[in-house]
Structure 1
Amino acid sequence: MRDLHQTDSVTASRSDARAQGGATSDWMPYVPASSSPFAPDGVDTADLVWAETVAPGGYTHKVLARGSRIRFDDPTGAACAHLLLFNALEPWERLNVADTQKIPWQAYLGQGSPLLSGDGRALATVVEDTSGHHDAFCGTSTDAWNERKYGGAAPEGPTPSGRSLFAKAAAKHGLTKQDLPPSVSFFQGVRIDPDGAMEFTGSAGPGHHVTLVAELPLLVLVANVAHPIDPRPEYAVGPLRVHAWRGAPTTAADDRFTASPELTRAYLNSIDHAEARGC
């Protein structure tokens, strides 16, 4: 228990607060990002613009420049990174999961998959994927779902819903619950059986990562919460590591640009949109 005399005056409170300046937590952003102890191999730490370990049941958010690389790491095999993307310049343009699946003819996300907006533009592209266990069907958990399964869903409690955490992250950027579309998630897989039933395939195990490239300036929202159809009775989720660094968006020189007519059109739309805005 802390000594109350440490905070019994403004001067003492200031000294006490400053004395804690070097304290660390297992779950924290690293500021500056170059101080991250978990920087990905081959990435110059001077190029890092975001570095954070997100707690189980935690969330994070960041605005990133076009071309940024965004890497999610699952160190324990238990993370579940629910992701929403918005055009940072015009946030009414946002991830459209239905278009992300149907336009590029991709039911399952993996390396080369674009994440599309409802305006026919690529917001981001998956450029690395060692996991293969992802989901673009279920979205994230709701308050009603978590209350029924775990007995609670409050964002400050032990079993927060993904929607409640997304709402907190969105509010920091002037957005409301009505601005939140369905999300995708990484590291806990779902497949569709021949009869149409959803099969939860779980994790590929510890040590996997997914890397995206931002095709437009992005607002990124992440909720690291238990997958909604995980059959385990406990709230099962582990830590998530996030790093981002400077890079370049997809261009005509990249193989993925011409991988299909649909991808070419999505990238052309993104390039046109970005260049018209000086990006």
Structure 2
Amino acid sequence: MTTRGEHLTDSVRNARADARAQTGLTSEWMPYLPASGSPFAPAGVDPVDLVWAETVAPGGYAHKVLARGTRLRLDDPTGDACAHLVVYNALEPVERLNVADTVKIPWQAYLGAGHPLLSGEGRVLATVVADTSAHHDAFCGTTTEAWNDRKYGDARPEGPSPAGRSLFVKAAAKHGLSRRDLPPSVSFFQGVRVEADGGFTWLGSAGPGTSVELVAELPLLVLLANVAHPLDPRPEYVVGPLRVHAWRGPATGPGDERFTATPERNRAYLNSIDYAEARGL
């Protein structure tokens, strides 16, 4: 059946009736509005405290602006999600994730609990505060159109095997940003390790039911692309749903162990606090 046969929109009145007929229809891939309506609220979190709740489709993307101190939780229910992430200072998006500093300042290239995500300004944008997966990647970035065309034969954002870069472009455009504003990303739930010869080994997933939690150290613009990892050796485009929840909380402060874990991290947290307090945040 054609779209014209499914929808009667040949007049304003019919178009309005057709649009209103869609009220109440749902999809398993959707943001929950209000967020408190999520059927997957994390244990121990009162649903009324949620400010973002969404299930991102395999091959889908999401984006959100979050206040400083917001807790962001990513869940991999099937073991096949791959959450590629870029974060920006929402007040000044020219400040964005710097993957080189993110692995340099903590002297650790493998993401996990306690790991700060840094900008090029020496400030912590977000911190990984909990992790049950330990299968992540700060080396490879996300997939490109050329890569997916070569491997899967299709890289269209609306196609069966969208590239992460294309989805980031779409998400960034919602906030007035363009392709040139996109830095390299990190990814969660599909691990990579560096071998002695400098080569990469893809570890895959830790299995279903794992999660990662981050806290926003500054107001954040969050971009997510849920696409297959570029080193995934499987010939098929394999990716599962990604669940996203966020709720208000405190940013990292002097009472937190990670605040003074190393001199370098302490300085980065102090830089973030200085920036926030100067703006009354």
Superposition TM-score, scaled by structure 1 size: 0.98
Partner of 1:183: 185
Indicate the residue corresponding to 1:90 in structure 2: 92
More moved, 24-33 vs 12-21: 12-21
Offset at 1:9?
3.2
Matched with 1:200 is 202
Structure 1 residue matching 2:172: 3-state secondary structure:
helix
User: Is 1:224 the equivalent of 2:226?
Assistant: yes
Kindly indicate whether the alpha-carbon contact (under 8 Å) linking 2:81 and 2:189 is maintained by their aligned counterparts in 1: yes
Deviation at 1:55, TM superposition (A): 0.3
Question: Aligned runs of 1:52-91 on 2, under 5 Å?
Answer: 52-91=54-93
- Structure 1 CA distance for aligned equivalents of residues 30 and 23 of structure 2: 13
Unpaired runs of at least 5, structure 2: none
Q: Work out whether residues 7 and 18 of structure 2, in 8 Å CA contact, stay in contact via their aligned partners in 1.
A: no
2:156 to 154, 157, 163: 154
CA apart distance, 1:13? 2.4
Q: How does 1:1-279 map onto structure 2 within 5 Å? A: 6-279=8-281
Quote the Cα distance in structure 1 between the aligned partners of 2:150 and 2:17.
46
Counterparts of 2:62 and 2:151, CA distance in 1: 24
- Which sits farther off after the overlay, 9-18 or 232-241? 9-18
Structural RMSD (CA): 1.2
1:74-118 deviations in Å (ceiling 9; x for gaps): 000000000000000010000000100011101100000000001
Compared CA separation, residues 113 and 17, structure 1 to 2 (3 A): same
Give the distance between the partners of 1:128 and 1:26, measured in 2 at CA: 26
One-letter identity of the residue aligned with 2:97: L
SS in structure 2 at match of 1:93: coil
Distance between the aligned counterparts of 2:268 and 2:122, measured in 1?
Answer: 6
Structure 2 Cα separation of the partners of residues 7 and 148 of structure 1: 40
Q: How many matched pairs?
A: 279
State how far apart, in whole Å, the 1-side matches of 2:72 and 2:118 are: 16
Alpha carbons of 1:4 and 1:154: their partners in 2 closer, same or farther (altered >3 Å)? closer
For residues 247 and 266 of structure 2, the distance between their equivalents in structure 1, rounded to whole angstroms, comes to 25
**Partner of 1:72: helix, strand, or coil?**
strand
Task: Confirm or deny: 8 A CA contact 2:87 2:125 kept in the other structure.
Answer: yes
**Distance apart, 1:194 and its partner CA:** 1.2
Q: CA deviation at 1:5?
A: 7.8
Question: In the aligned structure 1, how far is the partner of 2:18 from the partner of 2:105?
Answer: 56
Q: Is the 8 A contact 2:72 2:244 kept in 1?
A: yes
User: Which amino acid in 1 is paired with 2:199?
Assistant: A
After superposition, give the CA deviation of every residue in 1:171-209 in whole Å (9 maximum; x if it has no partner): 111111111010000000000011111000000000000
TM-score by length of 2: 0.97
Q: Give the letter for the 2:18 counterpart.
A: D
After the TM superposition, list the runs of 4 or more consecutive aligned residues in structure 1 that deviate by more than 4 angstroms: 1-6
SS of corresponding position for 1:53: strand
CA deviations over 1:224-276 (Å, ceiling 9, x no partner): 00000100001110000001111110000111101111111110000001111
Alpha-carbon distance between aligned partners in 1 of 2:68 and 2:7, rounded to the nearest angstrom: 50
1:12, CA displacement in angstroms?
Answer: 2.7
Structure 2 CA distance for partners of 1:231 and 1:7, relative to 1, 3 Å? same
Q: C-alpha separation between the residues in 1 aligned to 2:140 and 2:129?
A: 23
Deviation at 1:278, TM superposition (A): 1.3
Letter in 1 for 2:257: D
Deviation at 1:10, TM superposition (A): 2.2
| Matched letter for residue 31 of structure 2 | P
